[in-house]
Amino acid sequence: MRNVKLKFVGINSNFRPVIKVDGQIIKAKKNEFGSYEADYNTDNDNVEISIERNLELNAKLWWLYVIISFIISIFGLFEPPYDKRCIVIDCKFNVKLNDTNEIKLKFNTMNSQGKAVEIETQNQVDEIKNEYYVDKKAKTKRNIITLIKILIWLVLIIGIIFFISEKI
Amino acid sequence: MQSQHTSSTGKIEFQVFSGRLGKIFSNLSIVFLILSFCGILSFVTTAFVILIGFTLIILSIGTIFVLIPNYWNNLMTASTITVKITEFFFENFLIFISCVILFSILSFIFLKLDKQEKHSSRIILSSIVIVITIISIIVFASGVIK
């Protein structure tokens, strides 16, 4: 059984990636210095580390979540906005394991393009993917939602104005 | 492995959604707290009426003046309407305050369900709102405000 010590630097409340080791989502704990740490045990000679960022609008039931949020928040009036930039992370590393395995992943500032993570380790690493990119599908969804909201609001305002004009 | 992976992703997606719901309920609880105090503080009601009046002007891009020719006069003589609105808010104080408690508790639960992000400030805010609400109910029930 081999133990892999993982350390993640640069994660904050605005940036919460999903970290998977060999396809399993791992939970990292915050340490006293503000970075996150996780341990992973495996019998394999190498591990595959993948990092993703799940945007709200990429969820399976995103349309249902959007409708529920819109109704509960009184036609979107008290709803927090959806991520404007729609930047996602796509990282995949294949790490060959030694006797001691310490892997430090430093997250770069989110940009629409560029390298997402700097990896520091004594192990041999094969970088398969390592990038930030704009999720155009999510951005399109966001624009459509905004447009629909504006249309609904226009209909509502016209309705209210006619209602008031009828009353007065 | 594949199904386990899928369900985990679904769980994360739901947690993120519950965080959103928590924020919405937190916002609603604050709005209803203000509404419940509108009856007690009549000047807030006046400000509220004027705010809605101006919002309608902005949102209708001025067309409201065409649809309602004496709209401005009506808005300026809002004091009479304000009395009625103040009465409405005062009579429905308990309904508004119940909504505040309900939304604060819901906000608290949903924010706690989101394990992807810590919402410490929102949770503290919801707790403060609940405390203010309980104090308001005690003051209202003791008959200080009539």
Q: What is the pLDDT of residues A19-62, one digit of tens each?
A: 899 988 888 888 888 888 998 888 888 899 999 888 889 888 99
Contacts of B133 (CB under 8 A, 6+ apart): B33, B36, B97, B100, B101, B104
Of A103-117, A138-152, B34-48, the range with the highest mean pLDDT is A138-152
Indicate whether this complex's ipTM tops 0.95: no
From CA A89, how far away is CA A11, in angstroms rounded? Answer: 12
Binary contact (B5, A24; C-beta < 8 A): yes
State residue B1's pLDDT score.
Answer: 32
Tell me which residue in A68, A157, A168 faces B59 most closely, judged by beta carbons: A157
* Average pLDDT value for chain A: 88
Give residue B94's pLDDT: 85
B74 vs A contacts (CB less than 8 Å): 168
The pLDDT score that the predictor gives to residue B146 is 55
For range A85-112, the mean pLDDT: 88
A161 CB within 8 Å of a chain B CB: yes
Cβ–Cβ contact B72 with A under 8 A = no
Considering only CB atoms, which chain A residues are within 8 Å of B63?
Answer: 161
What pLDDT score was predicted for residue A155? 93
Of the listed ranges A75-79, A135-139, A162-166, the one predicted with least confidence: A162-166
Q: In the prediction, which pLDDT does B43 show?
A: 66
Instruction: Classify residue A41 by burial, with Cβ atoms within 10 Å: 0-12, 13-18, 19+.
Output: exposed
CA distance B63 to B73: 16
Q: List the one residue out of A22, A53, A54 whose CA is nearest residue A38.
A: A22
Query: How confident is the model at residue B7, as a pLDDT?
Result: 43
The per-residue pLDDT for B42 is 66
pLDDT beneath 50, residues of chain B: 1-7
- Say yes or no to pLDDT of A16 above 90: no
Question: Hey, CA dihedral for A16, A17, A23, A29, is it positive or negative?
Answer: negative
Is residue A65 within 8 angstroms of chain B, CB to CB? Answer: yes
Of B93, B18, B139, B1, residue with least CA distance to A80:
B18
Q: With bands split at pLDDT 50, 70 and 90, how would you rate the model's confidence at A103?
A: very high
DSSP helix/strand/coil, A34: coil
Mean per-residue pLDDT, A124-140: 91
Is pLDDT of A121 > 70? yes
Q: What percent of chain A has pLDDT over 70?
A: 98
Is the per-residue pLDDT at A138 higher than 80? Answer: yes
pLDDT at B92: 84
- Check residue B6 and give its pLDDT: 41
Number of other CB atoms surrounding residue A28 within 10 Å: 16
Interface of A with B in 96-155 (CB under 8 A): 153
Cα–Cα distance measured from residue A95 to residue A45, given in angstroms and rounded to the nearest whole number: 9
